[in-house]
Amino acid sequence: IAAGLADDCNGNGVPDPCEYAGISTEGETGPFGDEHPLVVTIADAGHAVSDLRLSIAVRADLDAINEAVQAKVGDTVVTTLWITSGQACPEQPQVQTVVVPMGTVNAAIDGSGGDLVVRVQSVGPVSVKECPDSFAFVAIDYVGDLAPADCLGNGTWDGCDIAADPSLD
């Protein structure tokens, strides 16, 4: 990176000021169950340069062997959670973290025209009536590249792309 003026702490060849420090967003739904999914969208998401981390918490009617929770990134099911051992509406929500590979994240962003869409939905007969205070919550974290830009804010392209870095000549 030119004359050591910009750090490249993650070693990807893109100056750190030209990257997102990370994207973090979260969402929560009310009654969670049949036909009550949680959908969180990050508009105009930059391509990931790291894996994506989903932190999912659910309190719901999950007491039958065929009841579960699925998480999707785009149209891809990335995990099925809490195929239960007989708990319906537990006092504390069930919590799990899922790591989604960077390639899956980027394919989902490309497939949606630039948005990152994460969906948490029930599978099987998960009834909102049995657990009226049910909910699903998801926190989403990832690091992504910015499109070529004026990272220094001086009105001109300032070489966020490694091809424009004179120290690499």
Identify the burial level of 155 via C-beta atoms within 10 angstroms of its C-beta, where 0-12 means exposed, 13-18 middle and 19 or more buried. exposed
DSSP string, 31-45: S-BTTB-EEEEETTP
Contact between 67 and 61 (Cβ < 8 Å): yes
pTM, two decimals, is: 0.70
- Predicted confidence (pLDDT) per residue in 2-56, tens digit: 445 556 665 666 665 555 545 667 778 888 888 888 898 888 887 887 888 888 8
